[in-house]
């Protein structure tokens, strides 16, 4: 299954308080993910499907969905770090 990024409802994650340049870099980071990671990230984090729903949609195991989602989020984080949008303080806040 292929979900082009332009078909994803990214407006759902583009809150008005997010600076435009961050939105652009986030969109670019998502677009550059390998397709199998990008699809899982969009279905889970943008469309709000559960891991079992994503697994059923893609014909993979729930474990595969979780693994791909973790890798996709890590890749996006790395790209945002490189762009100066992420730091260790953000990781500490997210662990709470």
What's the pTM?
A: 0.71
Share of the chain above pLDDT 70, in %: 69
DSSP label at 13?
G
Query: Which tens digit of pLDDT belongs to each residue from 63-89?
Result: 999 999 999 999 999 998 988 876 655
Residue 68, pLDDT score: 98
Show Cβ contacts of residue 66 under 8 Å, excluding neighbours closer than 6 positions: 51
Break the chain into its structural domains and give their ranges: 5-91
DSSP label at 12?
G
- d(C-alpha 67, C-alpha 82), whole Å: 23
Token pair listed for 50? 């559960």
Query: Which tens digit of pLDDT belongs to each residue from 26-36?
Result: 899 999 999 99
Token pair listed for 24? 């652009």
Residue 84, pLDDT score: 83
The answer as to CATH 3.20.20.80 being correct for domain 5-91 is no
Best CA proximity match to 1, nearest among 31, 38, 29, 33: 38
């Amino acid at each position: 299954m292929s979900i082009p990024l332009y078909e994803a409802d990214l407006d759902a994650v583009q809150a008005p308080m997010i600076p435009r340049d961050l939105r652009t870099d986030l969109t670019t980071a998502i677009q550059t993910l390998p397709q199998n990671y990008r699809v899982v990230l969009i279905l889970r984090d943008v469309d709000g499907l559960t891991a079992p729903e994503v697994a059923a949609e893609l014909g993979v195991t729930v474990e595969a969905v979780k693994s791909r989602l973790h890798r996709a989020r890590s890749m996006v984080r790395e790209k945002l770090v490189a762009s100066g949008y992420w730091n260790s303080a953000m990781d500490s806040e997210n662990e709470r």
